Structure 1
Amino acid sequence: MIHHLSIAVANPFRVAKILAELMNGQFFEFPIHQGAYIAIADDTYGTAIEILPQKAVWVAGMTEVEVKETEQAPALHSVHAAISVPISRERIEEIGIREGWLVRFCDRGPFQLIEFWLENSLLIELITDDMAANYLQFMRSSTYAAFLNEIKATA
C-alpha cells in the first residue's frame, strides 16, 4: 500500500489545490520546505501527496531526509502514480479543461483509467469508483502472471 508520494511541480499551490479537489480532500502548507504543500485525501488509507517546488529534491541528510534546491528543474518526469478518486470521469474532465491540462480516458484492456497531466508535464492516472474493480482484479500477482503468459503465447 502506498500511503503518500512526493512530486515536484512549477506551481505547488495550484497543483495541491487541484489534487485536493480530485481526491475530495484538503490541502495544507507542508513545513518541510518553503513553498511546499500537502494534499490529503481523508480516506481510510491516509493517502496524501506532497507537492514540492520544481527544483526541490530529497537528499539524505546527516540525521534524516532533507529537501535541497537544484540548479535546474527536470523537463520530464519518470515517476507517475495511479490514484483512486471519489469523483466521476465527467468531473475530472471538467477540472482538467478548466486548468488547461491534458486529460484523456484510456482503455488499457484489462482496466480503464484517466490520464491527468498536472501542468501538462507530470502524469497522474486517476481511477474512478466504477473503474476500480477491474484495476484491482488485474493488479494481482496471479492475474498479472497469466496476462504475461498470454502475451508470450501470442508473440
Structure 2
Amino acid sequence: MLHHMSLPARDPHSVARVLAELTDGQFFDFPIAPGAYMVNGCDPHGTALEILPDDRVWLPGPHEVDVGVRESSGPCSGFHVALSVPVSRERIEEVGAREGWLVRLCDRGPFQVIELWVENRFMVELLTAAMVPAYLAFMKPETYGAWLAEVQRSGAVLQAAH
C-alpha cells in the first residue's frame, strides 16, 4: 500500500491546491522545508502527497533524512515514497546490508519508519505491520492539522528544515 510520496514542483502551492481539489483532500504547510506542502485526507488509508520546491532534495543526514538545496543535478532527488511491507525490520536490514544500502530505524515523532536508501541515492520509507497503526492515526487531516498548529505555535524547527 502506498502511504505517501514526495513530488518536486516549480509552484508547490498551486500543485498542492490542485491535487487537493482533485483528490477531495486538504492541503497544509509541510514544515520540513520552506515552501513545501502536504496533501492528505484523500482516502481512509492515510495516503498523502508531499509537494517540495523543485530545488529541494532528500539527503541521508547524520541520523535520519535531511533536506538540502540542489546546487546542480546530483545523485539525490526530492522523490521518496513510504510503503507498508509484510516483512520484518530484521529482514529489511538483511536486504539492505546485502545490497550495501543504508538502512536505519527512524522516529518521526508521531510514527516510526525504516529508511532504506535505494542505491544510496533515494529514500524509501518502509513501515512494518507494527508501524502502520501510528502512521495511519497521524495522517488524518484533523490530527496532522492539530500537530502542525502545535509546531507553529511552539516555534519548533523540525530537524530537516533548512
TM superposition score normalised by structure 2 = 0.50
Which residue number in structure 1 is paired with residue 103 of structure 2?
Answer: 103
Whole-angstrom distance in 2 between the partners of 1:126 and 1:94: 14
* SS of alignment partner, residue 142 of structure 1: helix
Using CA pairs below 8 Å that are at least 6 residues apart, which structure has the higher relative contact order? 2
Give structure 1 stretches of 5+ with no counterpart.
6-72
Which residue number in structure 1 is paired with residue 138 of structure 2?
Answer: 138
* SS of alignment partner, residue 115 of structure 1: strand
Which residue number in structure 1 is paired with residue 76 of structure 2?
Answer: 76
Q: Is 1:89 equivalent to 2:99 in the alignment?
A: no
Task: Determine which structure has more spread, i.e. the larger CA radius of gyration.
Answer: 1
Q: Is 1:120 equivalent to 2:116 in the alignment?
A: no
Letter in 2 for 1:136: L
Whole-angstrom distance in 2 between the partners of 1:88 and 1:2: 18
* SS of alignment partner, residue 130 of structure 2: helix
Whole-angstrom distance in 2 between the partners of 1:76 and 1:112: 22
* SS of alignment partner, residue 124 of structure 1: strand
Whole-angstrom distance in 1 between the partners of 2:125 and 2:95: 14
Which residue number in structure 1 is paired with residue 36 of structure 2?
Answer: none
- Decide whether aligned partners of structure 1 residues 129 and 2 sit closer, same or farther in structure 2, where only a CA change above 3 A counts: closer
> Superposed, which structure 2 residues align to 1:3-82 within 5 Å?
75-82=75-82
Deviation per residue, 1:63-96 (Å, 9 max, x gap): xxxxxxxxxx852211100000000001100110
User: Following TM superposition, by how much is the alpha carbon of 1:2 offset from its aligned partner in structure 2, in angstroms?
Assistant: 5.0
Which residue number in structure 1 is paired with residue 64 of structure 2?
Answer: none
Letter in 2 for 1:95: V
Whole-angstrom distance in 1 between the partners of 2:80 and 2:127: 13
Whole-angstrom distance in 2 between the partners of 1:152 and 1:146: 10
Whole-angstrom distance in 2 between the partners of 1:131 and 1:2: 14
User: Following TM superposition, by how much is the alpha carbon of 1:143 offset from its aligned partner in structure 2, in angstroms?
Assistant: 0.3
Q: Which runs of 4+ in 1 moved over 2 A?
A: none
% identity of equivalent residues: 54
Whole-angstrom distance in 2 between the partners of 1:113 and 1:144: 17
Letter in 2 for 1:76: C
User: Following TM superposition, by how much is the alpha carbon of 1:153 offset from its aligned partner in structure 2, in angstroms?
Assistant: 2.0
Residues 2 and 81 of structure 2 are in contact (CA less than 8 Å); yes or no, is this contact kept in structure 1?
Answer: no
Which residue number in structure 2 is paired with residue 153 of structure 1?
Answer: 153
* SS of alignment partner, residue 130 of structure 1: coil
What do you get for the CA RMSD once the two structures are aligned? 2.3
